[in-house]
Amino acid sequence: MRVELRVPASGESITEVQIADWLKRTGDRVRQDEPVVLLETDKAAMELPSPVSGVLSEIVKQKGEMAKVGDVLAYLEDTPLPEVPTAEPTTHPAAATPRVMPAARRLMAERGVAAGQVTPTGPGGRLLKEDVLRHLDEAREPQPTAAAAAPETTAPETVRPAPAVEPRAAVPREEEAVPMSLLRRRVAERLVEAQQTAALLTTFNEIDMSAVIALRRTHQETFQRRHSVKLGFMSFFVKTAIEALKQLPGLNAEIRGTDLIYRNYYDVGIAVGGGRALVVPVLRNAERLSFAEIETAIADFARRAQANRLTLEELQGGTFTISNGGVYGSLLSTPIVNPPQSGVLGLHVIQDRPVARDGQVVIRPMMYVALTYDHRIVDGREAVSFLKHVKDCMEDPARLLLEI
């Protein structure tokens, strides 16, 4: 029996998806609930499982195409799957075949070169025309022979004109058009929206991380043994940010029409690098979470973001955001607010720098921090006070316990 594989309804705001990748090919056998295709919305990616066990008989929507909720993506033949012998595992015959770009395919056809003879160097394992040209150049280079390598002992040395060098063919300059993913398009739209609708301003400070580093070093082993997760810096910043937000509620507010909406809860978004783009899953009611619960949740977000397994609900909402560019080596930056939020805290790399302490120059692990805020809601005094409170708590973590 022929079974349709359709785009499911994934939320009121989701009307279309993009085919990010097919995990199975036409003719492949699939089991019920086994992922068949990876779909991408403007918020996240999700795997669509097979509704039955059988064979993927026809793919209707190809990779990169758009589809609306309810559209047919593929057809499956609902047939029982035979038992697969465990002694002879099977592999897909095309699993190691690189993706050959059109220009490279034409050149290989003209010169009689097989894809397996060329080493691909393009992004994602793509085989480019430049790879084929390099392979042909290497094949034309003469190999030294034994006679040519032997030294001359009897014939007198004569001066011969240098052989003419045939110039190599110029490598053509090519471009490749790749459709922008829905997620990347949505990120771009929101960044432009933030710049156009909010009055954004950024203020900076720096933090001496010595106290937190010493605290982590002292308690890391016990913390990790008890909670099965490492004690990182992010939990400290989440805690300090919440304490600062309690004192300066404008940074946890938003503009809704002509009203200012203040909240007594703190849903903190944590920017993490995803498999396809930067995503911001949200720690709900972060003020109720312990250090261990925060670290566990962030580690789980990071793992599932890499596998594109975050849910839409986890990426929606948020009242304040923390972005850590320091993990990528960023020394200083101006983060952009995620509308309709009014603030984002940017963290940066920790570096040993000379600083003045009690009239002496000493070396301390320092971190620059940045707060971008919506000046329509937050005044400069409040923004500076927020960063100062974060700095004071991080340099004296005992303040977190005393809530001062």
Residue pLDDT tens, the chain, 404 long:
888 899 888 765 678 888 888 988 888 999 988 889 988 877 677 788 998 898 998 999 888 888 888 899 999 988 765 554 544 444 444 447 677 776 777 788 777 788 778 888 876 677 787 888 888 877 765 555 444 444 555 555 566 666 666 666 677 788 888 777 777 787 788 888 888 888 999 999 999 999 999 999 999 999 999 999 999 999 999 999 999 999 999 999 999 999 999 999 999 999 998 666 688 999 999 999 999 999 999 999 999 888 778 888 898 889 999 999 999 999 999 999 999 999 999 999 999 999 999 999 999 999 999 999 999 999 999 999 999 999 999 999 988 876 65
Q: What pLDDT does residue 94 have?
A: 41
Do 343 and 322 touch, CB atoms closer than 8 A?
Answer: no
All CATH 2.40.50.100 domain ranges in the chain, comma separated? 2-77
Q: Which amino acid is at 243?
A: E
Cα distances (angstroms) measured from residue 220 to each of 76, 81, 225, 295, 350: 52, 50, 8, 12, 19
All CATH 3.30.559.10 domain ranges in the chain, comma separated? 182-402
Q: What pLDDT does residue 158 have?
A: 60
Output the CATH code of domain 182-402: 3.30.559.10
Q: Which of 150, 108, 145, 143 is nearest to 128 (CA)?
A: 108
Query: Residue ranges of the alpha helices (H) in 269-379?
Result: 291-306, 312-315
3-state helix, strand, coil in the chain (%, to 5): 35, 25, 40
The answer to whether residue 379 is catalytic is yes
Neighbours of 352 (CB within 10 A): 9
Q: What pLDDT does residue 207 have?
A: 98
Q: From the candidates 379, 389, 392, 396, which is the catalytic residue?
A: 379
DSSP letter at 236? H
Q: What pLDDT does residue 164 have?
A: 66
Distance, CA of 53 to CA of 73 (rounded, Å): 17
Who's near 90: CB < 8 A, 6+ residues apart?
84
Q: What pLDDT does residue 1 have?
A: 83
The answer to whether residue 348 is catalytic is no
Q: Which of 143, 205, 183 is nearest to 384 (CA)?
A: 205
Q: From the candidates 33, 92, 137, 375, which is the catalytic residue?
A: 375
Q: Which token pair is 394?
A: 């991080």
Output the CATH code of domain 2-77: 2.40.50.100
Do 37 and 74 touch, CB atoms closer than 8 A?
Answer: yes
Cis peptide before 340 (omega within 30 of 0): yes
pTM of the model: 0.67
Q: What pLDDT does residue 144 have?
A: 52
